[in-house]
Amino acid sequence: MTATQASDNRLSVSDAAVLLVDHQSGLLSLVQDYTPEEFKNNVLALADIARLFKLPTILTTSFEAGPNGPIMPELKEMFPDAPFIPRPGQINAWDNDDFVKAVKQTGRKQLIIAGVVTDVCVAFPTLSALKEGYQVFVVTDASGTFNKSVRDAALMRMVHSGAVMTNWFAVACELQRDWRNNMEGLATLLANHLPAYRNLITSFQAKK
């Protein structure tokens, strides 16, 4: 699948799954292309999107017994029944048989992926999944790394291989398709993660 072919297709609630890769306490300290508060908000916004649209979600960590540390506790709390794959050592999540099995068991062909760090934990499984025929949407603002230059190089590498770059707000809107589909659900999600949107809602309600 080429980058052009991938960009012609929209995300579908019925065909998308979410992969949250290595959002671990130790690795989070490496994220310098977003502020800690901004990045955490973006990750939790994507997680909320997965719950709002009831998308199959898979969590994975890398060598969490070492310095990479445990997964963000909020993610485990939000997805208590989701497949959780603590990889014993594989850097590329796609090299772990249990992770690939969990992905295949979703029956979905569109993978929405985010993780830490962008150039390794996101890029490597993205390239592997593309090679196996999946369509991959990388949520850039829920993925972080050392600096903007490293991020840009990683994103270009994935784009050239056929991945689609997006952000959590665009993912939410693309899955929603129409405001008349559970308007309150989407509006609440946006208000919880975008202060400017909360102000918009407050202003609108004040006029009633």
Enzyme catalytic residues: 121
As a whole number of Å, the end-to-end CA separation of the chain is 49
149 CB-contact burial (10 Å; exposed 0-12 / middle 13-18 / buried 19+):
exposed
Contact 142, 31 (CB under 8 A): no
**What are 122's two structure tokens?**
């996101």
∠ at Cα 107 (75, 16), nearest 5°? 55
Q: Prior bond to 100 cis, omega within 30?
A: no
What is the spatial order of strands in the sheet that 110-115 belongs to?
84-87, 57-62, 16-21, 110-115, 135-139, 164-166
Contact 108, 140 (CB under 8 A): no
